[in-house]
Amino acid sequence: MRKLRNNKGFTIIEVMIALLITGIVSGAALNFYIKMHNQTLTQEEISEMQQNLRASLDEIIKALRKAGYKTGTHTAFRINGDSLYVFYQETQPIDTVLYFLADLSSAELAAYADLPTRLRPHKLMKQVNSAGPVVFSEHINNLTFTAHSSSNVEVAVSVQPSRPDVDFSENEGYRIYSASERVNIRNLIL
């Protein structure tokens, strides 16, 4: 009986105040959560871009380093715009590996229809000897090869994320990360 008498419940004012406080606190928490979530997604996107960038650059550089391996008087490499031929000897007298950027198909491009040309992604293709080209990496913004001398080549790669980040104000929300490395072609400076 005493216990029951003591259970007085809450007045409407108390409930309103409690709801208001809960609303403010959970609103702030939700806001914080959404921000954190977005940031996590962005971070993941960035780290994926960086991996993509590293993997693409490393692949090309590793191939380029062995250019001219046992090829005798044959050219060690050839740069043709954004494509690079590397010649070496492995399975046949002259093996060739070709790296080039391929445009997206028109169906794939539909997703990027509103983007200016410079922000449309490409695929990095790798073709070994007479085998068909295979996709090595995607979301490549640009790829350039610059021969600084007959035995020194600079490879520059730019990548972009798979989807835009609404909080990033430039480039329609697409971050572009670039990296370049200069390679001394060992077989040409023995």
Partner 1 sequence: MRTMKVSNERGSALFICISIIAMLSIIGILAVKTSQTETDLSFNKVHSDKAFYIAEAGAKRAVLAIVNDPTWDSGYADIAFCGGVYTVTVEDSTADSTLSDSIRVTATGAINEAFATIEIVMAPDINYPFLHAMFGDDAVDIRNSMYINSYNSDSGSYLGTRIDSGADVGSNGTIDVYNGALVGGDVASSLAGGVTVVNPSDVTGTISDSAPEQTLEEIPQSEYDWAELNNDNLTGMSGSYTYDPATYSLISSGNVVLSSGVYYFSDFTLKNSASLTLAPGAEVTIYVTGSLEVKNSGDINGGGDPVDLLIYTQGDFVLKNSGTFYGVIYGPNSTADLRNSGDFYGAIVANDIVAHNSAQFHYDRSLSSFSRGTSNDFAVVAWKEL
* Residue closer to partner 1, measured from CB, 69 or 112: 69
| Smallest distance, partner 1 to C-beta of residue 45, A | 11
Beta strands in 150-176 (DSSP E): 152-159
Separation CA 98–CA 125 (nearest Å): 8
* Residue closer to partner 1, measured from CB, 3 or 113: 3
Q: Which amino acid is at 62?
A: K
| Smallest distance, partner 1 to C-beta of residue 68, A | 8
* Residue closer to partner 1, measured from CB, 43 or 180: 43
Residue numbers of the site for partner 1 (CB under 8 A)?
2, 6, 29, 33, 36, 40, 43-44, 47, 50-51, 54, 62, 65-66, 69-70, 88, 186-187, 190
**CA nearest 130: which of 153, 96, 103?**
96
Which are the contacts of 156, defined by CB distance < 8 A and separation ≥ 6? 142, 143, 144, 145, 146, 178, 179, 180
**CA nearest 140: which of 163, 123, 165, 126?**
123
Separation CA 3–CA 81 (nearest Å): 87
| Smallest distance, partner 1 to C-beta of residue 77, A | 14
| Smallest distance, partner 1 to C-beta of residue 88, A | 7
* Residue closer to partner 1, measured from CB, 6 or 117: 6
| Smallest distance, partner 1 to C-beta of residue 139, A | 17
| Smallest distance, partner 1 to C-beta of residue 144, A | 21
CB 163 within 8 A of CB 144: no
CB 63 within 8 A of CB 77: no
* Residue closer to partner 1, measured from CB, 6 or 11: 6
Which are the contacts of 136, defined by CB distance < 8 A and separation ≥ 6? 56, 59, 99, 123, 124, 125, 126
* Residue closer to partner 1, measured from CB, 99 or 101: 99
